Amino acid sequence: MADNSKDTIYVDIDDEITTLIDKVRTSNSRLVALVLPKRASVLQSIVNMKLLKRTADSEKKNIVLITTENGLLPLAGAVGLHTAATLTSKPEIPKGPVLAAAGQETVDEDMDLQLDDEEAPDLAKKAGLAASVGDLAASVEKPVNSLNAVDNLETVDMADAELAPSDEEDQPPEDVKPKKDKHLKVPNFDRFRTLLILGVLLILFLGILGYFVLAVWPHATIEIKTDASNVNTNVSVTLDTGAQTASISTGDIPATQVSQQKTYTQTVNTTGQKNEGTAATGSVTMTASDCTSPYTYNGAFTIPAGTGISYNNLTYVTQNDTQMMIPQHYPFKGSCVSYVAANSTQITAQSGGSSYNAQINNGTVSGYPEVVANGSASGGTDNIIQIVAQADISTATSKINTNAGSVKQSLINQLKGQGLYPVDVTFASSTPQISANPSVGSPSNTVTVTETVTYTMFGASKSNLNALLDSNIKSQTSKGQNIISNGLSQSSFRQVSANSSTDQVSLNTFAEVGPNISVAGIKKESSGQSPKMIISKIRTNPDVTGVIVKLNPFYVTTAPTNQSKITVKIAKPTKTA
């Protein structure tokens, strides 16, 4: 509800009467001051003035036009609107124009009178006004900006929330309601826009719903039972990378072999030990007794330097040649020939360590079983270091995870990418190539073992495999039966033999034989047909034993015309040929 405060509204020069009316209606004040710009054309029409006055009366609000335009004052006075020169001036209702004489032609209220300075006299005459706007303005004895000093004009205080008309006679009787202009209605464009949007949304919703009801949701399922049977198939296939053409009679078909090399590594701690201490040195004296028949040496002989002498699991190496001679005295001991060394033999321990500091008694000489050595060695010291042992390499190799499964799948994908059928049982790996870093015997706390393996797999053309299966199936069935499925998609292979370029396998599967039913043909014939017609057409095939047609949703009475919405299911065989 409006309060008693004053509301000031500034009018733009381009505002229309509907805009002013909306501003007055939306104002929360009972006293509304409209500040008009100079030459405001919107209120230079008597019709617009009356509309504004009618709005004020219907909304129970008082309007004050803040303007000094001489051309607007008579129009405001004619309809009974208050005017003021400024917002601080006292409002008043100016004098209206002189009314037309009796019997003079009047003008309809809907005619807009634009009272510009040049057109005002003519428009005033058309409106039935006796005086022009200039004459009306001249009738005011004092300037407009001093309206408060004019004695003959009724004034009202701007602070008063209730503005009274200038003349009691101008007020209509209380029991007489103002006549409404049936020709003047301001449309509510916001409500119209809302209804328009809702209407468009409703049409879109109904269109989408109709599309789903008629084109998306309807579908049909046709289940067909036949007298089909299974046939056990076993074909011997030789995959040959050197073959150019397939031989169906022998089972030889061209094949492609793909390969992939993988390298694996594993590092372990070393467990071997080596004594890097000083090697013991010494000397020995050699003697021999040749008791063989015939004699082995048959006279003097020489034991070369570098010959090994073993004693108590210790090995020493000779540093000089040793001349073995038959002594002049007592050369024979029974049937044996005795030999003695003509010189002393210098020896060095095979490796460092104090354990080689030993007295050598009857040490064996490598390559000379009849010769023994006696002497001693000393000066060996210990310095134990970690080295790579052969056992360390074996340990690292056993810990390598080759992960052949991922390689196998990679080869299968590679064959499929070439349009070939992968025969997974031909998956094979080469002998691993193993290397160690550092090598056996090298000083190190760790050793890294590298294993390189090459994996291979054969693949063949699916058309060649289908030809082999079809040939084998036809040889087991009668002429009246057709191959429904040769079973390649669920077949299994068993490897028989293999080499670098060929691989012989056995292909095993179950094929389906029975009536030759075209799924595409059934869909085409069933399109748009009722279930009764569909069953009648399919049952004309003597090998068909049963047909079931299901339509969904519940409101569907015929199969969809869109064949992609029709599903045909042919029952699997229940017997084996």
pLDDT of residue 255: 95
13 and 109 in a common domain: yes
Residue 246 in any domain: the answer is: no
pLDDT at 175 over 60: no
Distance CA 378, CA 369 (A): 25
Length of the chain: 577
430 and 300 in a common domain: no
Rounded to an integer, the average pLDDT of 378-392 is 93
5 three-class SS: strand
Task: Tell me the residue range of the domain where 206 lies.
Answer: 189-215
Instruction: Indicate the pLDDT class of residue 173, thresholds 50, 70 and 90.
Output: low
394 and 346 in a common domain: no
pLDDT of residue 567: 94
Beta bridge partners of 550: 221
261: burial class by Cβ within 10 Å (0-12, 13-18, 19+)? exposed
Residue 238 in any domain: the answer is: no
Q: What percent of the chain shows pLDDT beyond 70?
A: 82
Phi-psi region of 424 (alpha: psi -120 to 50; beta: other; left: phi over 0): alpha
53 and 145 in a common domain: yes
265 and 337 in a common domain: no
Residue 254 in any domain: the answer is: no
Phi-psi region of 62 (alpha: psi -120 to 50; beta: other; left: phi over 0): beta
Rounded to an integer, the average pLDDT of 545-554 is 91
Q: What percent of the chain shows pLDDT beyond 90?
A: 44
User: Which distant-in-sequence residues (6+ apart) come within 8 Å of 291 by Cβ?
Assistant: 334, 335, 336, 337, 370
Residue 434 in any domain: the answer is: yes
Torsion angle, alpha carbons of 103, 104, 109, 115, to 10: -160
Residue 248 in any domain: the answer is: no
Q: What are φ and ψ of residue 363, in 5° steps? A: -70, 145
450 and 341 in a common domain: no
C-alpha pair distances (Å), 316 with each of 70, 287, 363: 141, 17, 10
Q: What are φ and ψ of residue 89, in 5° steps? A: -80, 160
- For 3-13, the pLDDT digits (tens) are 457 889 888 88
pLDDT of residue 289: 86
Which residue, 432, 436, 431, 429, is CA-closest to 450? 436
pLDDT at 124 over 70: no
Distance CA 420, CA 412 (A): 9
pLDDT of residue 574: 67
Residue 178 in any domain: the answer is: no
Rounded to an integer, the average pLDDT of 466-482 is 83
Q: What are φ and ψ of residue 11, in 5° steps? A: -95, 130
Last residue of a domain, one of 382, 399, 414: 382
Distance CA 370, CA 292 (A): 9
List the structure tokens of 521: 């043909």
How much is the pTM?
0.48
Structure letter (DSSP) for residue 105: P
Q: Are 229 and 477 in contact (CB under 8 A)?
A: no
340 and 429 in a common domain: no
393 and 372 in a common domain: no
149 and 50 in a common domain: yes
- For 197-210, the pLDDT digits (tens) are 999 999 999 999 98
Instruction: Indicate the pLDDT class of residue 178, thresholds 50, 70 and 90.
Output: low
74-88, 248-262, 558-572, range with greatest mean pLDDT: 248-262
123 and 12 in a common domain: yes
360 and 229 in a common domain: no
120 and 48 in a common domain: yes
pLDDT of residue 113: 36
148: burial class by Cβ within 10 Å (0-12, 13-18, 19+)? middle
Residue 495 in any domain: the answer is: yes
- The total of structural domains in the chain comes to 5
- For 224-275, the pLDDT digits (tens) are 988 788 888 899 999 999 999 999 889 999 999 999 999 999 999 999 988 8
Residue 450 in any domain: the answer is: yes
Distance CA 478, CA 235 (A): 19
pLDDT at 85 over 70: yes
